[in-house]
Amino acid sequence: MKSVEVIIGAGVDDNIDYISGETKLWSETYGINITPYKFGFSNKQSTDFAQCYNELLEVVDATNAIAIIGISGFGSVAINVLHDRINQIEKVVNICGRLRRGGISAVPLRWSEKKYPLFFESLNRCESIQSRVDPKKVMTMRPRFDEVVPPNTVTLKGATNIKLALPVLREWLLNPNFLHTYYSRFALRDYCDVIVKFIKPQGINSNQ
């Protein structure tokens, strides 16, 4: 069985540097080739959502990706791609990404609305189409507490919704100021078997 192509999209900071490091063994161990992707959320020159989104779709098509992992702000984008590439994308994993408005967090949603307009366009579209995607193709991962994204806005009804098992005290000790960022790296590293099995259940133990 040949390797599969997976896109991992970064959150609103567009930081893809750590993605390759946390997934460096996926190709050799699991037969999953990773394409890190930044949508342009933090680029003030990137104001045209349709253009940024179409550029992503071109990469999806060119790489023949069968799955997308959305980190934080990219989670809603991944759901949108699942809707628009229904015959190509087999699985989507949303790691700590907001899929709808609501919830309570230490960082009010309205504070970042003007700063990341592309994210809010993605979120609005995601809210309008998510009821039309197959939830069995979706896995969500959320912590017990997140200072940026309320955990109850990460899940999707009917999806495989995973709660990240890490004691709150340890979370604060490891990363007291940037829990949201830490969760994403933690999920890619410590839950890689769970993610891979969801994406590629037939070949988790080999690259064939």
Write the DSSP string, 45-87: T---HHHHHHHHHHHHHHHT--EEEEETTHHHHHHHHHHHTTT
Instruction: Report pLDDT for 199.
Output: 94
pLDDT tens per residue, range 140-166? 999 887 778 888 999 999 999 999 986
Structural domains of the chain ordered from first start: 4-199 (3.40.50.1820)
With a cut of 70, list the residues of the chain below it in pLDDT.
Answer: 1, 105-108, 166-178, 203-208
Instruction: Report pLDDT for 180.
Output: 75
**Residue labelled with tokens 């495989």:** 160
Edge to edge, the sheet with strand 32-37 lists 32-37, 4-9, 67-71, 91-95, 138-142, 160-163
Kindly state the DSSP code that residue 136 receives in the 8-state scheme: G
Instruction: Report pLDDT for 64.
Output: 96
Contact 66, 6 (CB under 8 A): yes
**pTM given for the model:** 0.90
What is the enclosing helix (H) or strand (E) of 34? strand 32-37
Separation between Cα atoms, residue 4 and residue 31, nearest integer Å: 6
Contact 48, 109 (CB under 8 A): no
Distance in angstroms between the alpha carbons of the first and the last residue of the chain: 4
Separation between Cα atoms, residue 176 and residue 192, nearest integer Å: 24
Separation between Cα atoms, residue 28 and residue 72, nearest integer Å: 26
